[in-house]
Amino acid sequence: MKLEGQIEEIIYQNETNSYTIAELSTDEEIFTVVGYLPFINEGDFLSLEGKFVTHQDYGRQFKIDTFEKKMPETKEALEKYLASGIIKGIGPSTAKKIVDKFGDETIAVFKFEPSRLSEVKGISASGAIEMAEEFNTKWDLWQIVGFLEKFGINASNSKKVYEALGNDAIEEIKRNPYVLVDITYGVDFFKIDKMALEIGIDVNSYQRIGAGIRYGLILASYNGNTCVEKNNLYEFVKNKLSVEEKYIDEVIINLKSTGKIVEEETDDKTWIFLEELYRVEKNIAQRIYMMMKTKNVKYIKSFSEQLEKEEMFLQMILSEKQKEALKEVNESNISIITGGPGTGKTTIIRALIDIYKLNGQKVVLCAPTGRAAKRMSESTGEEAKTIHRLLDIGKIEDNKLENIDAEFAPIDADVLVIDEMSMVDVFLMNYITKAIYMGTKLVLVGDSNQLPSVGPGSVLKDLIESEKIPTTNLDKIFRQAAKSKIILNAHKVNNGESFVNKNEAKDTMDDFFFIDETSQEKMISDVVSLTTGRLQNYGNYDFYDNMQVLTPTKKGPLGTRELNKTLQNAINPENEKKKEKKFGEITFREGDRVMQIKNNYDIFWDRDTNGIYENSTGVFNGEIGRVEKIDLTERQMKVLFDDGKNVWYQFSELDQLEQAYAVTIHKSQGSEFDVVVIAIPQAAPLLLTRNLLYTAITRAKKLLVILGNKSTVEFMIQNVDSKKRNTGLRQKITYLLDKKD
């Protein structure tokens, strides 16, 4: 059967495979349609082929076999399409003005005379061009989407393919499907391989084996590695592609000769790198070498005397290790300060700022995430930026392998201090070292025992283990910090020891509680009660202002997906005065706590801080805020972020947000909260590691409650993450400095 109509509402859409449940409005009635509809939005006009089925719970539905996206054929239909919010900047009122102005010529204006859109009141000349470009891109894109969808290629990659290959994308892909491996970071190689074999590409072809090798190296980078042991790579390709080793040998030789991969001998092993990842490590090593060999032009001769004065100003005596760290900053162009909570890293940064400012030198502070930068600002009293903001990185982060040689404006600083260095991957470190003037001091601060970066590399760990960069390891817990069971237990976990007992901690604060619980239902009940008033005897804590729930996983009753639903119902229940918008499996409600889950460099924001108005663009992964308003008429939602930014999201952009009553421990890295509740379910051993628990504990400032089975928690404490990352940065730094010394 065939149905034609407009998508009125998307009830559910799977982000991974674009399986969709939607309401389709036809001339006769509204039907529920189900099936795979990649890159389809509310407001689109579709021609569907399929059949009616009866679902035992949801009744009669139209099951889609194939679809075709169609142009609206009447003025009314076109206005409805434009009013749906599918084109950024066009809502119902603007849509009506456009169609009233241009009538039957509206589509022709979008396609061939886009500048004429500025004749409509409220549309600027630049806005007209942007609207037309988005309108035309959306129509061109569906053809590629439809083609790739037949082979199971994720819809989220379709736009990238279109941007890389243009209007001839389909023909290019038919000639060589393996081109998709290079274009689409994250694509499923085996679906592409299936497509290639179906159109006749030979099993032992250079194209196929070369793409398989590259895919294996890319796959390893998803797990944090910058290289793969040669023998392991051979095994992967042999097993996955069913090819003989002699063919792999030939392709490896060719890939090396053409510079697409690099082979390196270290530690009696042979390692294979993607050329891009080899080059990024080499760039970092060379820049660090240059920094270390450059004259120390920011050296302060009277540093020791000024350090004594700083102790008087701070009204505290610095430890020998703290003084050592500060003197290393003065003596070296690059230095590392590492240590756990309560060991005095923040005091060192404050002292460093004071001394260098008194000498007329500019100290710049930054961190990998917005929340980490905000925390740095609060603890030092000085402005701190995200690394992305400082470097104005922009969209190059979306195509990291293609932008290794990107250039940046030099950072205007005499001393650059980077906090939370364990979160910095090789790409970000490459950008940082490119932007530093030779002579600027670089101070790297972090805790190498926390979770490693999401992206490839172990930058902080590699730099420390090279033993070539001056490093101060702060291992003394200060007296005030030692009164905190949170800090004591963080260090105990890091040392592989169980939590302190009452006899060990007589003069400590009641700021740490472990609830030994095996029942998931009871743990869920405890999470709710702890976040809705149970902790009132320990402080005036409000969930939105002071608290955060953490969990190792997204899945299961104690994963973020289910906990967010449970906590939304408890903390921000349904209310007729609060508007809602259902998007996929999430129902956003006014008052919800939400988190940005992908970088958006273009989205507009403004804020008014004590009468000072600012506006700019860009909201980044990990930023947390609250839903202020949902406008069902204009189909948009306003979020107020913790740093005061006001941001309007079109409904079509809500895939960038998720609820944040509960977040994963990985997502919390770089943040601190007054009160943290950690729910630890039984889960896969890979998730239950010592550094994950250590990272979670160190997120809490004033109060921490851990819920979980004692044996599970003990397992985490003993489960040292043995999944060592394969990287080459340490060896490159060591080689350069040994060779040139």
Neighbours of 341 (CB within 10 A): 22
What does residue 721 show for φ and ψ, rounded to 5 degrees? -65, 100
**pLDDT for 185 beyond 70:** no
- On whether the CB atoms of residues 636 and 583 are closer than 8 A, the answer is no
Is residue 558 very low, low, confident or very high in pLDDT (cuts 50, 70, 90)?
A: very high
* pLDDT tens digits, 531-542: 998 998 888 888
CB 625 within 8 A of CB 645: yes
pLDDT for the residue numbered 397:
58
Q: Given this model, what pLDDT does residue 195 score?
A: 82
Tell me, what's the pLDDT at 547? Answer: 94
Output b/e per residue, 63-74; b: 16+ Cβ within 10 A.
ebeebebbebee
**d(Cα 526, Cα 542) in Å, to the nearest integer?**
16
* Nearest C-alpha neighbor of 33 from the set 57, 52, 56, 14: 52
Q: Which of 460, 455, 555 is nearest to 223 (CA)?
A: 455
Is residue 81 very low, low, confident or very high in pLDDT (cuts 50, 70, 90)? confident
Q: Which residue has the higher pLDDT, 644 or 393?
A: 644
Radius of gyration of the chain (CA): 28
Confidence (pLDDT) at 723:
66
- Which residues on neighbouring strands pair with residue 68, listed in sequence order? 47
- Are 413 and 391 in contact by the 8 Å Cβ rule? The answer is no
Name the pLDDT band for 321 (thresholds 50, 70, 90). Answer: very high
Cα distance between residue 487 and residue 639, in whole Å: 34
Q: What is the pLDDT of residues 423-449, one digit of tens each?
A: 999 999 999 999 999 999 999 999 988
Segment 352-384, tens digit of pLDDT: 999 999 999 999 999 998 888 888 998 999 999
8: Cα within 13 Å, side-chain hemisphere = 12
Q: Which of 12-16, 592-596, 620-624 shows the highest mean pLDDT? A: 592-596
pLDDT, position 628: 95
The whole-number average pLDDT for the span 637-646 is: 92
| pTM: predicted TM-score of the whole model, two decimal places | 0.77
Among 457, 329, 352, residue whose Cα is nearest residue 400: 457
Residue 529 or residue 55, greater confidence: 529
pLDDT tens, position by position, 22-68:
999 888 889 999 887 866 777 788 888 888 887 656 678 898 877 77
- State how far Cα 741 lies from the chain centre: 39
Share of the chain above pLDDT 90, in %: 53
Reply yes or no on whether the pLDDT at 198 is more than 90. no
In the predicted model, what is the mean pLDDT of residues 564-573? 96
* Residue 458 confidence (pLDDT) above 80: yes
Q: What angle do CA 380, 677, 619 make, to 5 degrees?
A: 55
- For residue 465, the SS3 value is helix
The CA distance from 348 to 310, in Å, is 11
- Average pLDDT value for residue range 99-116: 90
In the predicted structure, residue 273 carries a pLDDT above the cut 90: yes
- Residue 162 pLDDT > 80: no
Q: Please report how the helices 189-198 and 206-222 are oriented relative to each other, as an axis angle in degrees rounded to 10.
A: 170
> Which residues is 62 bridged to in the sheet?
33, 52
Name the phi and psi angles at 215, rounded to 5: -60, -40
Mean of all residue pLDDT scores within the chain: 88
Inform me whether the pLDDT recorded for 741 exceeds 80. Answer: no
More confident residue, 548 or 90: 548
Read off the amino acid at residue 548: Q
Q: Hey, what amino acid is at 187? A: V
Q: Which residue has the higher pLDDT, 102 or 66?
A: 102
CB-CB contact of 656 with 676 (8 Å): no
What pLDDT was estimated at residue 329? 96
Token pair, residue 725, equals 């990352």
Cα four-point dihedral sign 725, 620, 129, 139: positive
Is the model's pLDDT at 454 over the cut of 90? no
Residue 15 pLDDT more than 70? no
Site of tokens 């990107």: 406
On the question of pLDDT at 395 being above 80, the answer is no
Residue keyed to tokens 């008194």? 358
Q: Is the dihedral of CA 336, 361, 390, 597 positive or negative?
A: positive
The model's pLDDT over 725-739, given as tens digits with 9 standing for 90+, comes to 999 999 999 999 887
Across 330-338, average pLDDT: 96
Predicted local distance difference test score (pLDDT) of residue 418: 97
With H, G, I as helix, E, B as strand and everything else as coil, classify residue 290: helix
Specify whether the CB–CB gap between 231 and 224 falls below 8 A: no
Instruction: Give residue 158's pLDDT.
Output: 67
Q: Residue type for 149, please? A: E
Identify the pLDDT of residue 258: 93
